Structure 1
Amino acid sequence: MSNNHAKRRLPPLGALTAFEAAARHQSFSRAAQELHLTHGAISRAVAQIEERIGVELFVRRNRRVYLTTAGQRLLKTTSESLDALSHTVEEIHRHNSASPFLTVSCEPSLAMRWLMPRLGAFRELCPGLNIDLRMAGGSIDLLSENCDIAIRRMDFKVKADYQVTRLCSELAGPVCSKAYWESVQQDLNKASWLHSRTRPNAWDEWKSAYGMEKMIPNNEQHFDHFFYTLQAAQDQLGIAIGSAPLVSDDLKIQRLIAPLGMQPTGCDYALLTLDELNSDPRIAAFSNWLLEQVTR
C-alpha cells in the first residue's frame, strides 16, 4: 500500500460535515437541526471519526460538549476544506453552459398565468434548450436549490452577490369579469371582495393608495393562493386585486377588466442569477427572450 493511498484514508464526507456542524455550534442538537438529522446520527458520525483517528474530539460534560485541542485542529482544517469544496462546486455549476437544460424558478402565479402560456414560443425559438420549471416564490438560494435563474417579485432582500435584472414594474388594481361588474351596478361597495392568503394586504394597500382606508365591503371571501383568487374573479365570484403582468393576457382579451384602472405598486419583477446574463449562453437566450416578452 502506497503512502499516498494511506493519506487518503479519511473519514466519510458525511461524518466530517456532521463533525464540522457539531464543532461550530458546540452542540450535537443544533448540528442535528441544521443538517436535518437526528441527535444520534450526529453522535455516531463523531464517534466514527474518533474511532478512525484514535483521538477524542469532544469532551462531554453535563449534557454539553467542548472541543479538545485535537477537535479544534480538525475543525479548522475541515471548515477550510468544506469551504473549498463548496467554492469549487459553485464554480462548476456556474459555468456548466453545455447543459441542454436550464432550471428556472418562478413565482407560481406568474408561471401559471404568464410564463407557461409563452414557453411553447420559446421552445420553437430554442428547440435544443429544455426548461426545467420550478414554482416557488420569495427568497432563494440558487446554488443549493440547483437553479440557474429565478423570476421573482422583488418584495424581499436579495443576496449581495446576486445579479438582479429588472423585468418590469408591477401594476395593481381591482379586477373582475365584465358581467360581474355590471351585476353589482359598477359599485365596489356592492361587490364581494376576494382575498389571497399569500397576499393578505393587497386590498389594504390599494385602499391606502386611493385614500379609501375606511371602506368596508359587505362580503368577503378568502383563498389560499393568489392564483385561485384571480380564477375566482374570472369565474364571477367577486372582485380581486389583480396585478400585471399576471393579468395582462386576461385584460387584453377582456376575460377580466380593471374598471378602476391599475397603478404602479412600487414593486418590480426581476431575474436573479449568479453571474452576468451573457456569461452563460443558455441564460442569455432565455433572459433576452423574457425581456422581449415583457415589452410586448
Structure 2
Amino acid sequence: MSNNHIKRRLPPLGALTAFEAAARHQSFSRAAQELHLTHGAISRAVAQIEDRIGVQLFVRRNRRVYLTSAGQRLLKTTSETLDELSHTVEEIHRHDSSSPFLTVSCEPSLAMRWLMPRLGTFRELCPELNIDLRMAGGPIDLLSENCDIAIRRMDFGVHEDYQITTLCSELAGPVCTEDYWEKHINQDLSGANWLHSRTRPNAWDDWQNADGMEKIAPKSEQHFDHFFYTLQAAQDQLGIAIGSIPLVSDDLTMQRLIAPLGVQPTGYDYALLTLGEPNQDPRIAAFCNWLIGQIAG
C-alpha cells in the first residue's frame, strides 16, 4: 500500500479534534461546549471516523459514552499529535519575522544583573515586540530549544552555522563594598573572606594569574552555587568576589560595589548568537542594535 493511499484514509483533522475532545471529557455535550459546536456535530464527527476505520470508538450506555480499547488507543495518539501540531504551529508563528515575540536565551547572571533592568527601555522603543526571556548558559541549540537568539559568555566552542556578533570584552577584578574594603582589607586581600561561585570556580586563580601577582591565601572562603549569588553576597558585605563587567557595571556606577584594584580583560567576550545575519530579521536587528547601544553606553 502506498503512502499516498495511507494518507487518504486518514480522517479529517476537524473530526479528530472533535473525537479528542469527546474522548477526553467522556461526553459529547462537554466536547460541544468546548469547541463551540452542537452535540450533533460532535456525534457526526465521531461517526465519520468510525465509518472510515470500521471500528467502534465509543460504547453508549445510559446517555453516557465510554471509550472502547480502540478509542483509548486513538485518543493517546490523537492527543499527542494535536499537542505536537499545536506546538509546531505556535513556534512557527513565534519565530516568524513578523511575529510579535522574540525568544532570547541569556546567561542567568547577565540577565538578572544587567539585561532585565534595561528591558523596560527596549519596551518603550519597540512596544510591539515582546521579549520572551529564558535564562540559560553555555552551549545552545537554538532550533531545538526554540530560541531566536542567545547572549553568551564565549567560553565554549560554537558550531560554524552560528553567526557571532561580539557585544563586548569581559573585564574582571575583585569587588566589594567600600565599607567592607575599609574595615576588613585595606590593601591586604589575605585578610578578607573570598567569595566563590561554583559556576566559575577558577575566577580567583584566573585573576591572580592574569595580574601576575604572587599567589596568596585568603583568611576564609565561602562558596555559592551561582555567580549572581556571589555578587549579591559581596553587595551584602559578606566578603569580596571577582566581579566582571558588564555584570557589575550598574553596581559600580551606583557605588553599591567598588573595584579597588581595578579590572582587566579576562580573554572572553560576551556575544550574540544567531542562525543568520541579525539584519535578516527585523526583530533581531532591532534588539541587537539596541543591545549594542546599551553595552556601549
Would you say same fold, with TM above 0.5? yes
Closer/same/farther in 2, CA of residues 225 and 95 from structure 1, 3 Å limit: closer
Q: What is the match of residue 126 of structure 2?
A: 126
Letter in 1 for 2:165: T
Segments of 5+ residues of structure 1 without an aligned counterpart are: 12-88
Residues of 1 paired with 2:247 and 2:121: CA distance? 18
Alignment of 1:3-18 (within 5 A): 5-8=4-7
Deviation string, structure 1 residues 221-261 (Cα, Å, up to 9, x no partner): 00110000000000000000000000000001110000000
1:209 CA displacement: 1.3
Write out per-residue CA displacement over residues 257-287 of structure 1, whole angstroms, 9 at most, x where no aligned residue. 0000000001000000001011100000000
Q: Give how far 1:8 is off.
A: 2.6
What's the % identity of the aligned pairs? Answer: 77
2: CA distance, partners of 1:157 / 1:96: 27
Instruction: Using structure 1 for the length normalisation, give the TM-score.
Output: 0.70
| Paired residues for 1:126-165 under 5 Å | 126-165=126-165
Rounded Cα–Cα distance in structure 2 between residues aligned with 1:96 and 1:122: 20
Distance 1:190 1:3, change over 3 A: closer
| Number of residue equivalences | 217
The SS at the match of 2:190 is helix
Residues in 1 aligned to 2:210 and 2:112: alpha-carbon distance in whole angstroms: 28
Q: Which residue of 2 aligns with 1:182?
A: 182
1:268 aligns with 2:269: yes
Counterpart Cα distance in 2 of 1:276 and 1:261: 36
Do the aligned residues in 2 keep the contact of 1:94 with 1:275 (CA within 8 Å)? no
Tell me the amino acid that sits aligned with residue 113 of structure 1.
R
Cα 1:232–1:183 shift into 2, 3 Å: same
Compared CA separation, residues 136 and 7, structure 1 to 2 (3 A): same
Distance 1:195 1:95, change over 3 A: closer
RMSD: 2.3
What pairs with 1:112-261 in structure 2 (closer than 5 Å)?
Answer: 112-186=112-186, 187-261=188-262
The structural deviation recorded for 1:133 is 0.0
User: Matches of 2:95 and 2:117 in 1, distance apart?
Assistant: 29
Deviation at 1:6, TM superposition (A): 1.3
3-state DSSP class of the match of 1:184?
Answer: helix
User: What is the rounded CA distance, in whole Å, between the counterparts of 2:126 and 2:230 in structure 1?
Assistant: 34
Is contact 2:93–2:99 with CA below 8 Å preserved after alignment? no
TM-score w.r.t. length of structure 2: 0.69
Task: Indicate conservation of the 8 Å contact 1:169/1:267, yes or no.
Answer: yes
What displacement does 1:94 show? Answer: 10
Distance 1:94 1:101 in 2: 6
Aligned to 2:296: 295
